[in-house]
Chain A
Amino acid sequence: MSRPQEPEPRLPPAAPPSSGPALRHAHPAERGRLLEDLVRQEIGYVLNCPPAAVDRHQTLTDLGVGSMTGLELQRRIAAVLAIEPELTFILRAPDTGTLARYLDRLLTSSKAGTEQRDIADPAAK
Chain B
Amino acid sequence: MTLPIPPQSSADLWILRQPPLGSCTGELDLTELDAAEQSRAGTCRREAGRLLYSSAHVGLRRVLSAYLDVDPRSLRMGREACPCCDEPHGRPVLEAPDTPLHFSLSHSNGMALIGVSTVPIGVDVEKVPTTETVRVCTPALHPDEQRELAAGPQDVVVFGQMWTRKEAYLKGLGTGLGRPLAYDYLGADPALRPYGWEVIDVPCGPQHVAAAALRGTQRARVRVHWLAMETLYKDNPAPLDHQRSLLAELAA
Please state if A62 and B46 are interface contacts (CB–CB under 8 Å): yes
Given contacts A64-B49, A75-B136, contact A2 B206 (CB under 8 A): no
Q: Is B194 an interface residue (CB 8 A)?
A: no
Chain A residues near B178 (CB, 8 Å)? 88
Give CA–CA (A75, B167) in the complex, Å. 18
Docked complex: A79-113 residues within 8 A CB-CB of B: 87-88, 91
Given contacts A72-B136, A75-B136, A88-B177, contact A67 B126 (CB under 8 A): yes
Q: Is A55 an interface residue (CB 8 A)?
A: yes
Q: Is A124 an interface residue (CB 8 A)?
A: no
For A1, A68, A71, A91, the residue with the greatest tally of chain B CB atoms inside 10 Å of its CB is A68
Main secondary structure of the interface of B (DSSP, over half): helix
How far in angstroms is the closest Cβ of chain B from A69? 6
Chain A residues near B167 (CB, 8 Å)? 67
Q: Is B132 an interface residue (CB 8 A)?
A: yes
Q: Is B218 an interface residue (CB 8 A)?
A: no
Q: Is B44 an interface residue (CB 8 A)?
A: yes
Please state if A66 and B127 are interface contacts (CB–CB under 8 Å): yes
Q: Is A30 an interface residue (CB 8 A)?
A: no
Chain A residues near B44 (CB, 8 Å)? 58-59, 62
How far in angstroms is the closest Cβ of chain A from B143? 17
Which of chain A's residues has its CB closest to B85's CB? A88
Give CA–CA (A70, B133) in the complex, Å. 10
Q: Which of A3-11, A14-22, A32-40, A115-123 contacts B (4 or more CB under 8 A)?
A: A3-11
Give CA–CA (A64, B47) in the complex, Å. 12
Name 7 extra pairs, CB < 8 A, besides A64-B109, A68-B126, A72-B136: A1-B157, A58-B43, A58-B44, A63-B46, A66-B126, A71-B136, A72-B132
User: Which chain B residues have a beta carbon within 8 Å of chain A's beta carbons?
Assistant: 43-46, 49, 108-109, 124, 126-127, 129-133, 136-137, 139-140, 153, 155-157, 160, 163, 167, 176-178, 181, 206
